[in-house]
Amino acid sequence: MDDHHQSAETHEPWARPDDRAPVVEPGHTFASVTDQISSIVLTRGVQRGWLIGFGISFAITMLLLYAITMTVAVGVGLWGINVPVGWGFAIINFVWWIGIGHAGTLISAVLLLLHQDWRTSINRFAEAMTLFAVACAGIFPLLHLGRPWIFYWLFPYPNTMSIWPQFRSPLIWDVFAVSTYGTVSLLFWYVGLIPDLATLRDRAHSSIGRYVYGFMAMGWRGSAAHWHRYHVAYTLLAGLATPLVVSVHTVVGLDFASSIVPGWHSTIFPPYFVAGAIYSGFAMVMTLAIPLRWAYKLEDFITMRHLDNMAKIILATGLIVFYGYLMEAFFGWYSANQYERYLTLNRALGHYRVQYWALMFCNAAVPQLLWFGAVRRSVWALFVIAIVVNVGMWLERYVIVITSLHRDYLPSSWGYYAGTRWDWAIYIGTLGLFLALLFLFIRLLPMISIFEMRELVVHKEGELRAADLEE
Amino acid sequence: MQAPEPVLPIYGLMAEFDTPSQLIAAARHVRAQGFRRVEAYTPYPIEELGKVLHGGRSRLPLLVFLGGLFGGIGGYFLQYWVHVIHYPLNSGGKPLNSWPMFIPITFEMTILGAALTAVFALLALNGLPMPYHPVFNVPRFSLASRDRFFLMIRSIDPKYDEPVTRQMLFDLEAHDVFEVPP
């Protein structure tokens, strides 16, 4: 037996005993994970911290409603957009929010297919984050239409005007990609919730709780037949969501790349956008996970192992994004095109150089700290880095949208851009909407997938028992 | 005189087990005894039970494939019909059937068709939503979504014989056996 162990250690270094932090702290049973997670929703009631957080974010949501009302009533003239910078905040924020959403799908779908069991305790709220981020993202292109009340013209429906969308336009691809993404994310999230809604139905004390959760659980009984089909459907949905998430940000990248604007007309855009989306999304998951695990005492479920793994993904995707920046600069020189060359120099030295170098600081320099294990083990350092990355990714979209547009081919049509207070109000307003929805979510639904935690407990127990037997 | 209330036959017998391995062993035994109308209830998916009780095959993947196929063909045809047949429009000198530019929407519609089929087929095949089911009449059954494991034998099973079946379930280390009212 000893010999066997020896050889396993020398020949298979990956088979060494796992000295990393566990994905769920030892000592948990089916009952304890069920009770602890469902108690957040069912028994702890409305707490002061929650009320304050929800109150503030709800107030900011009211700001959003006010700004939207003004925009619809007066028009997009309230915004900073004009010729030549016609895209402005609306597109920056759209791309930023959509990108944030992508980590949720990645965690729930890709890591499921790769059998990464550490995803289990973060996938539910990451999926919720996706859903709310897509909702925030969707607001911007709709308002940017200028006449949002006829948004349905974007969809192909038989109409008396006998006109159709131009299907060769990436902007119409966007309509299909984002609406499909929103729909599939919602379905995936809801399917994942059904067994947990049944758990809440069975645990709820109030008749309203039993009725509402029972209604939403649709009569789920957890029978072998149910679970069997459920498993098949859930895996298939994960398999469908994986290429979908790549396609969505590819299409967003194509919105830019298929134009002839200097700085946008580049083949690197789709892959570099996808990497940036995952990068910013994981940063947002981290930004949310750290306060949540502290406030709801979930350190047993969202362990340092999760934070460490997420930090490594942020570092890896951050390096891909940095490679993208380097390649953009390289293309500026190598293309020998005077407009590309001018654009590259203008980004680094022109009117928007502060944003450009701030972006480089946030996305290229700061994430390099994650190489150090000590940084990855410090909750505070991770929280600060995650926020810096969120800011950096917003600046990235700012630099891409604004610097390219404000210097067109014709110097006569050059101009400058700055967001107005209405631009800021809508942007900050969507942050409020996002947080308000998240607060409602953690109060009303289980933020960690309970049935998947039970599976995790079984697997961990099985491993422990096997280890005991060997000894 | 009031007519006596008709006595409905019970829905079945439900046995409660402490551990998943006891439940799996019991399900195997019951199947080997020739019972057909058997169902197990667990707090989390156990692949083994699906195989023992339902053969482990599902029509879902085929349905999802067909859903995706329908979405993809429909998506492409929509664009083809609009741009080639109904309203031909020269855009940048491209051919009317400029298929590479139709790929993104075709792809998205494939995913949408497949995903919608996966979810609605899952619900339909599982018979959800189902507002009433007799198993919920057993108070202990609420623990099936926590930490207990249940096996139910329907009274309409040809092999069903209440006292014998009940004794068999106890012999299989059942923690308790309940009658499930209809």
d(CA A338, CA A298): 55
Residue A79 Cα distances to A21, A135, A147, angstroms:
49, 21, 14
Considering only CB atoms, A167 lies closest to which of B42, B44, B79, namely B79
Look at A233 and B145 and tell me if their CB atoms are within 8 Å.
no
Look at A236 and B64 and tell me if their CB atoms are within 8 Å.
yes
Look at B122 and A233 and tell me if their CB atoms are within 8 Å.
yes
Mutate to test the interface with B, among A228, A244, A252, A451 (most CBs of B within 10 A): A228
pLDDT above 50 (res A1): no
Q: Which amino acid type is present at position A160?
A: T
Chain A residues in contact with B145 (beta carbon < 8 A): 34, 195, 198-199, 201-203, 222
Q: How many residues does chain B have?
A: 182
pLDDT tens digits, B1-39 = 566 666 667 888 888 888 888 888 888 888 888 888 888
pLDDT tens digits, A279-329 = 999 999 999 989 988 888 888 888 888 899 899 999 999 999 999 999 999
Q: Is A178 on the interface with B (CB under 8 A)?
A: no
Region at B135 (left for phi over 0; alpha for psi -120 to 50; beta for the rest): alpha
d(CA A453, CA B43): 11
Locate A112 and state its tokens.
């499921």
Mutate to test the interface with B, among A226, A242, A245 (most CBs of B within 10 A): A226
Q: What is the CA radius of gyration of chain B?
A: 26
pLDDT at A20: 63
Q: Sheet harboring B176-180: ordered strands across?
A: B38-41, B149-154, B12-17, B176-180
ipTM score assigned to the predicted complex: 0.89
d(CA A341, CA A333): 6
Chain A residues in contact with B146 (beta carbon < 8 A): 30-31, 34-35, 199, 202-203
Tens-of-pLDDT digits for all 182 residues of chain B? 566 666 667 888 888 888 888 888 888 888 888 888 888 898 888 888 888 888 767 889 999 999 999 999 999 999 999 999 998 988 888 899 999 999 999 999 999 999 999 999 999 998 888 888 888 888 888 888 888 888 888 888 787 887 888 888 888 888 888 888 88
Q: Is A413 on the interface with B (CB under 8 A)?
A: no
Return the residue of A nearest to B110 by Cα: A240
Look at B53 and A156 and tell me if their CB atoms are within 8 Å.
no
Chain A residues in contact with B50 (beta carbon < 8 A): 224-225, 227-228, 231
CA distance B164 to chain A (A): 24
d(CA A467, CA A242): 35
The answer to whether the beta carbons of residues A106 and A448 sit under 8 Å apart is no
Chain A residues in contact with B98 (beta carbon < 8 A): 168
Mutate to test the interface with A, among B42, B111, B138 (most CBs of A within 10 A): B111
